[in-house]
Structure 1
Amino acid sequence: MERAAATYVEETGFGFWFLQSHVWQHHVLRVAIADLQRLIDHPLPSAAVLLDAGCGQGKSFALLAEAFQPAQLIGLDADPHSLECSRAEAERQGLAVQLVASDCAAIQLADASVDLLFCHQTFHHLVEQEEALAEFWRVLKPGGLLLFAESTKFYIDTWVIRWLFRHPMEVQRSAGEYLEMLRRQGFQFAEGNVSYPYLWWSRAKDFGLLERLGIRRPKPVGQRDETLVNVVARKPQAATPPEPADR
């Protein structure tokens, strides 16, 4: 089956298996969604339309439905095999999910049609990141929320991750660079809408083993290279398209 994105970087066999594992669902997805819920400081819209951009194999669907109780849940992915798995997962969970075969940089949805856009561990797979973020802006309603959770280059560019998974290394960003990219697009967020989880699985050198054994003390925020960043960013009510950045 043809991919929806010409620039799609195919995952390794291990990576595809990992994205259906208990570790992924319990220690990565569940934790990220709970943290994003905590960062929301405005009432959520009723009867919300929620888009999962880069839904993969659909393991987020039940967690998103429970956390946000959307009236409509949409899953988008560029990989047809992943969408087949998403369809099976939605049926297994008894959830009505609209599935869209689409590149994040060219989303096949109408302008201002989404209330909540969940983008979890997707951006480090994308080559056309600026274009994808512009599409997120376009499909979100004024006042809509982008729920953004991402690994940074300090995690992706480590030997164990490069060995087990496949990513476009030329586009990886730091936490600060991701935040600046969101601001340039026009999204608004405060310090209280951002977190820097330092989870054991994101510490690629030793997975936090030395800290758990008490051999090394963890570095505080501001004194370490952040491996994860979670943001709840709002598209302003009176949103106007940002000026195009010089390239």
Structure 2
Amino acid sequence: MNPASSYVEETGFGFWFLQSHVWQHHVLRVAIADLKRLAGNQLPTAPVVLDAGCGQGKSFALLDQALQPSRLIGLDADPHSLDCSRAEAARLGLEVQLIASDCAAIQLADASVDLLFCHQTFHHLVEQEKALAEFWRVLKPGGLLLFAESTKYYIDTWVIRWLFRHPMQVQKSAEQYLAMLREQGFAFTEANVSYPYLWWSRASDFGLLERWGLRQPKPFGQRNETLVNVVARKPEHSSR
């Protein structure tokens, strides 16, 4: 498979942003903490963790601290990103297995992963259904998908279209992402889902008008959600 046909590469600005303090502190750190909260007591001890779309490896230290994996695997289709991940793992002194692979064709055995972390990766993928089927395949029965995504209401804003690059034809709402997970067979309840309303995800103005008191924030249920986090379980017994 040609990776270029199955995902859309980031812009130069995007590649720079993914190594910034804002990305690590305000995006990655917050998402991992929220996903850990949503998982509750479901998190296994010493899990095998796959970071699907690991990029430059800026998640490695946070995942190691939050999940204490026995084995950490980073997957990305971009060779330059994997070089950065390799350097980041070496800098941290962490042993990370790196795989050059697309999410739609993961080079791992069936039922080999306890936790699959997919953070802000899915909206880059063209073949989302195939990728989700691969997530299902590599997860062990009872394994967890830690899924954090921006929705079409964020991706389809002028500032994001200007600064970044995405396959617009596959972007989905929060409800559509959740429906997609359920259709694949994943199980979760409302307690396993959150809709973060973070400053950087507020469409068009990053929440500036709200902070300046020029606009009242819309309450939950009256706005188009720009972020969705969910911890979804692959059931122990499944017909799939």
Name the structure where helix makes up a greater proportion of residues: 2
- Correspondence 1:100 to 2:94: no
Q: Which amino acid aligns with 1:56?
A: G
3-state SS, counterpart of residue 83 of structure 2: helix
- Mapped to 1, the partners of 2:152 and 2:16 lie a distance apart of 22
* 1:83 matched residue in structure 2: 82
3-state SS, counterpart of residue 87 of structure 1: helix
Q: Deviations over 1:106-157 (max 9, x none)?
A: 1000000000000000000000000000000000001000000000000000
Alignment of 1:94-173 (within 5 A): 94-173=93-172
* 2:231 matched residue in structure 1: 232
- Mapped to 2, the partners of 1:186 and 1:8 lie a distance apart of 24
Q: Is the 8 Å Cα contact of residues 5 and 102 (structure 1) preserved in structure 2?
A: no
- Mapped to 2, the partners of 1:229 and 1:115 lie a distance apart of 21
User: How many angstroms does 1:4 deviate by?
Assistant: 4.2
User: How many angstroms does 1:5 deviate by?
Assistant: 4.9
- Mapped to 2, the partners of 1:167 and 1:94 lie a distance apart of 33
Q: Is the 8 Å Cα contact of residues 154 and 227 (structure 1) preserved in structure 2?
A: yes
Q: Rate the CA distance shift 1:94–1:85 in 2: closer, same or farther, 3 A.
A: same
Q: Rate the CA distance shift 1:20–1:3 in 2: closer, same or farther, 3 A.
A: farther
* Segment drifting more, 205-214 vs 105-114: 205-214
Q: Which amino acid aligns with 1:107?
A: I
- Give unpaired runs (5+ residues) of structure 2: none
* 1:244 matched residue in structure 2: none
* 1:63 matched residue in structure 2: 62
* Segment drifting more, 4-13 vs 164-173: 4-13
Aligned residues: 240
TM-score (norm 1): 0.95
TM-score (norm 2): 0.97
* 1:179 matched residue in structure 2: 178
User: How many angstroms does 1:216 deviate by?
Assistant: 1.9
- Give unpaired runs (5+ residues) of structure 1: 242-247
